[in-house]
């Protein structure tokens, strides 16, 4: 099960990269990008918690 969460965590890293690219290309306002980065960070934190929980069992 942890492998699925690891894949999802990798996807959040991809999303972060895409947000940086979007910012560099000025495709969205900085305010919206910061909100999305914050949301992505929250998802990453939840996934890390899930991974730790599953591995400790």
pLDDT tens profile 26-48: 999 999 999 999 999 999 999 99
Indicate whether 13 pLDDT > 90.
yes
User: Helix, strand or coil for residue 25?
Assistant: coil
Report the candidate in 16, 18, 12, 23 with the shortest Cα–Cα distance to residue 45.
12
End-to-end, the C-alpha distance of the chain in Å comes to 11
Band the pLDDT of 10: cuts 50, 70, 90.
very high
Of residues 22 and 2, more confidently modeled: 22
How high is the pLDDT of residue 40?
98
How high is the pLDDT of residue 54?
94
């Amino acid at each position: 099960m942890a492998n699925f969460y690891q894949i999802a965590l990798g996807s959040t890293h991809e999303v972060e990269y895409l947000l940086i690219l979007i910012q560099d290309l000025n495709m969205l306002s900085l305010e919206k990008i910061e909100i999305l980065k914050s949301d992505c960070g929250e998802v990453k934190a939840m996934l890390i918690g899930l991974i730790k929980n599953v591995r400790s069992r």
